Amino acid sequence: MNPNIEKRNQLLAEKVMKGLKSRNMTGYYAASKEEALETALKLIPEGSSVTMGGAMSAHEIGLVDAVKKGNYHFIDRDAYADKRAAMLAAYDADVFLAGANAITEDGVMVNIDGNANRVSAIAQGPKKVIFIVGMNKVCDDVDGAIKRARNVAAPINAQRFGLATPCSKTGSCMNCKSPDTICCQILITRFSRHAGRIHVILVNDTLGF
């Protein structure tokens, strides 16, 4: 990566982390995927029950594979015959792994969801939530973050899941009410009432969608 981009990302991450701290959340900066993985594993005590909500960023830094192979109880919803049971188990997990569709420069996170199992677990339930967030997700403000979630993350995910939404064909949000829409719930996380629950690892890389 160009050293000037690296410097910019580091400076911007410091601003985001300051915002997170003011919102009772803890931020970390990782200069690489490897450093992000190391930081994340330090936050997950051995023996913990761990689950996730389809966080591509967690896959991309190798965190999901590390948890599956490590001394943890990984609740893998893909391995459950009853998907609903797996989703409900997430609410009582020790650790929930997540990505963010967008984060503002002052530490507000925006996530959009279809079934709402991901955003509901972020909001309440698991004892600890660990976000893996590439610096490509940082936006100026909440309006920009919502636009990113709807016009970047949602169309890409709709295409990834093979959904017949207008955005999967146009590449941008059409504000649809399609049966396949994945823009059913939008969660804006602006503060954590519980100190030590939400941890955000900002990664000097392009991760997720």
- pTM exceeds 0.85: yes
Cβ neighbourhood burial of 118 (10 Å; 0-12, 13-18, 19+): buried
- Give me the pLDDT at residue 176, please: 95
CA distance 146 to 166: 18
- Give me the pLDDT at residue 33, please: 98
Domain 3-203 CATH assignment equals 3.90.180.10: no
- Give me the pLDDT at residue 80, please: 82
Longest dimension (CA), the chain: 48
pLDDT (tens digit, 9 = 90+) per residue, 24-82?
999 999 999 999 999 999 999 999 999 998 899 999 999 999 999 999 999 998 888 88
Q: What is the mean pLDDT of residues 144-160?
A: 95
